[in-house]
Structure formats: structure tokens, C-alpha cells
Amino acid sequence: MVICSRKMSSSSRALVLIAAVLSVASCSCSHVVAAGHPDYADALAKSILFFQGQRSGRLPPDQAVKWRSNSGLSDGSAANVDLTGGYYDGGDNVKFGFPMAFTTTMLSWGIVEYGGRMQGLVHDARAAVRWAADYLLKAATRTPGVLYVGVGDPDADHRCWERPEDMDTPRTVYSVSASNPGSDVAAETAAALAAAALVFKAADPAYSKRLVTTARNLMAFAVQHPGKYSDHIGGDVGAYYASYSGYQDELLWGSAWLHWATKNSSYLDYLNSLGANDGVDMFSWDNKLAGARVLLSRRALVDRDRRLEPFRRQAEDFICSILPGSPSSTTQYTPGGMMYKSGQANLQYVTSASFLLTTFAKYMAVSNHTFSCQSVPVTAKTLRALAKKQVYICVVTSSSSCMEPCMDKRVRLHQVDYILGKNPLGMSYMVGYGARFPQKIHHRASSVPSVGAHPARIGCQEGFRDYFNAASANPNVHIGAVVGGPDQHDAFPDDRGDYDRSEPTTYTNAALVGCLAYFAGSYKN
């Protein structure tokens, strides 16, 4: 579980972006590395497999991650409802509905945009969405007027280090209702179910219709009963996934997804009435503004719907805030080229931004669109270069001239490739991918022997004593798990106790799946 902090501010770099597709002033001294690229298809398969290791509930016969077993089979009993299933958000044993819904939305978006590039893996990707969507449907429909948004006392859980199969901490149930509103979590759950409905529209039409119906009801609830869920549900859940950004972003996000799923013009009217004009330079489980704006840009660019032009311009403002070399950039990059937004689980911001770059580039390419960050022109290839691979960038100073060799003044930038091992440490931050990857991730089920290897129960403090504090590698390799990642200096300690850098989360992987699918379809090994 990663505790969110407010976004950090950082000074923009004195760089002018000169990629193969850009020309700044009259100088053209760009270099695109022609070296090999990672095996994106292998990384994609592993990133999807990761979700099986996060499953709660009764596992199916085709479960491929064999070190996991059934868990949380009485979830919901504290409220006399069935809330089994769903995902643990990270390395703990709590089910937090807010980030689980965002995970579902991002997994679904990746399939909607890039499912055709997943080939034989699209079935597994749909299964990952359905595992979450089935749970969210239960949470939204078991009790009229109530949305269940969490199972498990997070404070008690974090005082324990035990595998989910053994957990004996309170499985407290948390919910929102008219008297305890939660517009943010309700609208995010609506977005998740609407996005999942698009995934299953052809594959399972009846299921898709059920998802849409529930999403519409949740969105109505979110609008009619305004409020931040973390202000109302108690149990200190807000200390783990507080809604720092408020709920306007989720109202925009949920309406955008329902507009796509239903084609109902009332959602478009509502979108235009929200007036969410805040500038943002990150996209996360908490703040959805950038994602909603990129999503709405699809209609503005591909369908030429001029009513959505303001959202397209806001999406471009977001991109200008993260592009190195943009005069309006507010984003820091490490010496090795990683986008750096926070000391807490930074790679979640890298994967989510990379997905938006890749997807906005898709919309730009289809519509033959370009734009500028003030004086710096941007094309679809520009965005894909930053999201995908290693690009050389010249540092242009007043004494620079086009006659000077840029090779002496270059900075390497890459995001997905950085995660997969093209970084100063030569380490993949996806477990099980490449020759070198994290061995001691902050994850209870991975770090404690499986039930198959150690049938006897392992208690809370025994787990801390014998496994959390162990110097050895985790006994269960959590294939596909992307950890929080290195610090601002590209350093990574591989320390189980350092949850900021060593804990994987579902929402970090969810955003990466779509990127990997795009690159797997574009770059064949």
C-alpha cells in the first residue's frame, strides 16, 4: 500500500527538445539511438500475469500463479454481504475500492485502444478486467443505495506481515451512501464499469449491458450526493488513499467514459458544465483530469467534435508540462532519463503518463494533428519517442551553434525502456523480466513461503521476524510486478522495508499494459 503525497513541484530543465521529428530554430543535431529494444511482447505477458498474484477470493482452476491460494473467502460477512474477489492493491491484504476501480479503468482503456495488438494475450487481459469488474458489480449492487468501497482494517493489516491465505486481521467493511457520500469513488467506479463495458461489448454483450446499467446508476449517485469519500467513511482509510484532488476530476472522468459507452448526449452536456480548468502535470489514481482530457480528445481529434476542443487544448497543456524542452515544462527528469514526480511509488506516474503520451499520439496520428508547446513543435512521433525509447536531446545555450557536435551535450530520455532495463543500473524494475530485477519486493505473499511450501499458518509477528527482516530474496517471484522504482538520482536499494521504492501496485501495472501492447505490436523481436 502506498500512501499518496501531494504532487511535488520541480523546476523545468534548460533543454530544447530536438528529436528526429523536431527542428528547433535552425539547428538539427538530433540523434535517435538505433540500438535494440526490449522484448515488449514478453513484458506484456508478464505485466498481465501480475494481476493473478494480486487476486483475492476463490482462485479459478486455470490460475497460473501457483504460489497463491484462496483468501478472503468471508469478505463482506461483517456487513452480511458477499464481497469476495477483487484485487489487493499492492503488497498488503486490504481491498481498497478507489485504486481498484482506477486499475480497472486503465486496464480496460488499454484493451480498448490496443487489444488488437495483444494477439493471444487479449483473453488474459480481459480476464484481469473481469476479475475486478465482477467485484465492483458486487460492491455496487448488493445493497440498494450503498457502494462498498473497502474490505480490511488498513491499520491492523499494516501491523501484520502475513500472507493473504493466513490473514486474521479484521475484515472491516467500508461504504458510501447518501448520508456518507463519496462522489470520487462512486464516479471512479462508474468509469471502471463503463470502460469495462466497452471491453466486453462484443465478447459478452449481456455482461456489457449490465456493466453500463450499474455505471449509470453510480454516476447519478455521484452527482446527486456530492462529497469526498475519505471525509466520510472513517477507519483511517483516508490516510492510505485520501482523495487529495477532490471529486471534480472523477465527475469529469466518469462522465467521459459513460459518454463513450452510451453515446448519450446528456453526459456531454454535463461535461461542459463542470468547468474543471485546473492545470495538472501528473495523472494518477487520485487525479484524473489529464486522463479525462486525453480521453475526450479522442472525440475532438478523431471525430472532429468541436464541442470538445477545450479538453483537447487542456490535454496539450498537460503534455507540454511533462515534455522535456517545453518552455512550460514543470517536470523533473533524473540523470538517467526517468520522469520524476514523487518519492513515493514514482513509477506509477511514469507508466500513467507514458500511456497518455502513447494514446494521445495515436489520436494525433489518425487525425494528422500537430501542436506546439509555445515555440516547440510536437508531433505524434515526439510523444511516442518519449514514452518508448532512448532519444538524445541537445542542451542549447547562447554559445551553442549548429556547428557544435551535439554528441558532447546530450541527455538520454526513455520511459518504458527505462523501466525494462535501459537505465544507469541496468536493472529491470519489472520482476521476472530481464537478467537483473528486484529480489526483495515489499509484498507479503511474495516474501512469505506459499501454503504449498509451508502448510502451517505463519502469524503476524512471525512474518515480520522471519521473512520481512530476512536478508534473502523473496521465495515467490512475483512475475510482472513493477515496483515503485528508483529515486531522483536513479538509485535503487532493493530493500523490502522501503515500500516507497520496492512495493508493486496494481495501478502501476494497469497503465503499463496498454503501452506495452502498443510497442509489442510495433517492434517485433
Q: How confident is the model at residue 188 (pLDDT cuts 50, 70, 90)?
A: very high
Residue 399: the pLDDT is 31
Percent of the chain topping pLDDT 90: 82
Q: How confident is the model at residue 115 (pLDDT cuts 50, 70, 90)?
A: very high
Q: Which CATH architecture has domain 31-522?
A: Alpha/alpha barrel (1.50)
Four-residue CA torsion sign, 85, 89, 94, 95: negative
Catalytic annotation, pick one of 442, 443, 478, 490: 442
| 308 SS3 class | helix
Helices 506-522 and 97-118 pack at an angle, to 10 degrees, of: 10
Closest C-alpha among 310, 308, 311, 332 to residue 321: 332
Task: Tell me what the mean pLDDT of segment 419-437 comes to.
Answer: 97
What are the residue boundaries of the structural domains of the chain, listed by start? 31-522
Q: What confidence tens digit (pLDDT) does each residue in 192-238 have?
A: 999 999 999 999 999 999 999 999 999 999 999 999 999 999 888 87
| 460 SS3 class | helix
Catalytic annotation, pick one of 231, 494, 495, 498: 494
pLDDT at 498 over 70: yes
Residue 133: the pLDDT is 98
Query: Are 150 and 173 spatial neighbours (Cβ–Cβ below 8 Å)?
Result: yes
Strands 391-394 and 410-413, how do they pair? Answer: antiparallel
Q: How confident is the model at residue 272 (pLDDT cuts 50, 70, 90)?
A: confident
Which residues, 6+ apart, have CB-to-CB distance to 202 below 8 Å? none
CA 167 to CA 161: how far, in whole Å?
9
Task: Tell me what the mean pLDDT of segment 68-76 comes to.
Answer: 98
Q: What confidence tens digit (pLDDT) does each residue in 352-411 have?
A: 999 999 999 999 999 999 999 998 999 998 898 888 743 333 223 233 332 222 222 333
Q: What confidence tens digit (pLDDT) does each residue in 294-303 have?
A: 999 999 999 9
> b/e per residue, 60-70, with b = 16+ CB within 10 A?
eeeeebebbbe
Residue 524: the pLDDT is 77
pLDDT at 413 over 70: no
> b/e per residue, 137-166, with b = 16+ CB within 10 A?
bbbbbbeeebbbbbbbbbbbbbebbbbbbb
pLDDT at 340 over 60: yes
Q: Is 232 a catalytic residue?
A: no
Q: Is 494 a catalytic residue?
A: yes
Q: What confidence tens digit (pLDDT) does each residue in 257-269 have?
A: 999 999 999 999 9
Considering only residues 256 and 16, tell me which one the structure prediction assigns the higher pLDDT: 256
Radius of gyration of the chain (CA): 22
Q: Is 478 a catalytic residue?
A: no
Q: What are the backbone angles phi and psi of residue 333, rounded to the nearest 5°?
A: -125, 145
CA 339 to CA 90: how far, in whole Å?
22
